Amino acid sequence: MTKKKPYNDIRLLDFQDKFSTEQICLDYLVKMRWPDGVTCSHCIDSKLDFIQTRKVFECRQCHRQIYPTAGTIFHKSRVPLRKWFWAIYLMATSKKGVSMLYLQKQLGLGSYHTAWLMGHKIRQAMAQRDSIYTLSGTVETDEILIGGKQSLDERRSKGDNKTPFLIAVEENSQGGPRFLSFEELETIYEEHVVPAIKKNIRTGSTIKSDGSGVYIKAQKEGYKHERSVEMKEPEKTHEHLKWINIITSNLKRYLLSTHHGVFPKYRKAFLAEFAYRFNRRYWPRQAFDRLLYACINADPAPLPVLTA
């Protein structure tokens, strides 16, 4: 799929040795969160003690307490940090993603529900991390539909059960794929597609698309447009949006083979996970640290699911 073959740097034994106890994991998290040491936000130059039994730092002067995991996805979780670290490691480094059933079994989690919630929070951290970037330069774009499996009754009541997304792939200087983003769309009409383009792609970029009229509007918003004019020759259109076609077919295989299809309301999160891994495929050695950092700095999940 790409010229540079990403090597798989899975060193399970190294990881196991490195993060062998809860305390080591907590120390690692604290060091990442407060590289210059934990300080009290109220008192200058005050020392803090770590209260081992309660896993909390306390200021000697004002007795303010600082929980190392407060504000992170791990806060108030009953799952040991060690297992969280493993889940992050597996989700960050596995080329094809991991199913939540696999996570539950490998980590010995009490229930599938717990594994699911952990996966969901990690996925949200991934989505938040990527949402701060915008694509630029030459960007292939298209609208794709995800899903569609449903019972006849569902089809009758809720339409076709597919979710439209804008897919955008930034090309590198050699014409290969660099970064990938997805944006959920309400419809594939211009009033929804154009704002999605503006959110994900920097103004002034060149958009490569099929001949859809949506992109004429995008041109008025300051984008250059390179459309496939070979509408009667599908092979050329295919070549024009080469990376989108390859990535979309990988994506669909990933959703079906790893996750056996995904409920509509979670499609966005699963696509974000797919894009997150794709965007970091050349940095496998940093995969764990980067995702742990994202998990520490993510806003707690905006869903009533924070009890994993």
Binding site for Zn ion (CB under 5 A): 40, 42-43, 46, 59, 61-62, 64
Is 39 or 136 the residue whose CB approaches Zn ion more closely?
39
Is 61 or 94 the residue whose CB approaches Zn ion more closely?
61
DSSP β-bridge partners for residue 206:
138, 224
Min separation Cβ 32 and Zn ion, Å: 22
Min separation Cβ 29 and Zn ion, Å: 21
Is 38 or 79 the residue whose CB approaches Zn ion more closely?
38
Min separation Cβ 26 and Zn ion, Å: 21
Is 46 or 286 the residue whose CB approaches Zn ion more closely?
46
Asked whether the beta carbons of 166 and 196 are under 8 A apart, the reply is yes
Min separation Cβ 51 and Zn ion, Å: 14
Min separation Cβ 50 and Zn ion, Å: 14
Q: Count other C-beta atoms under 10 Å from residue 71's C-beta.
A: 14
Show the CA angle centred on residue 10, arms to residues 6 and 12, nearest 5°: 175
Min separation Cβ 259 and Zn ion, Å: 46
Is 40 or 81 the residue whose CB approaches Zn ion more closely?
40
Min separation Cβ 38 and Zn ion, Å: 11
Cα dihedral sign, 23-28-29-33: positive
Contacts (Cβ under 8 Å, ≥6 apart) of 263: none
Min separation Cβ 74 and Zn ion, Å: 24
Q: Count other C-beta atoms under 10 Å from residue 4's C-beta.
A: 8
Is 34 or 189 the residue whose CB approaches Zn ion more closely?
34
Is 19 or 50 the residue whose CB approaches Zn ion more closely?
50
Closest CA to 97 of 281, 297, 298, 286: 281
DSSP secondary structure, 129-173, as one string: HHTT--B-SEEEEEEEEEE----HHHHHHHTT-EEEEEEEEEE-T
Phi, psi of 20 (to 5 degrees): -85, -15
Contacts (Cβ under 8 Å, ≥6 apart) of 67: 55, 56, 57, 75
Give the total residue count for the chain.
308
Can you read off the two tokens belonging to residue 300?
Answer: 């707690």
Asked whether the beta carbons of 222 and 204 are under 8 A apart, the reply is yes
Q: Count other C-beta atoms under 10 Å from residue 107's C-beta.
A: 18
Is 16 or 46 the residue whose CB approaches Zn ion more closely?
46
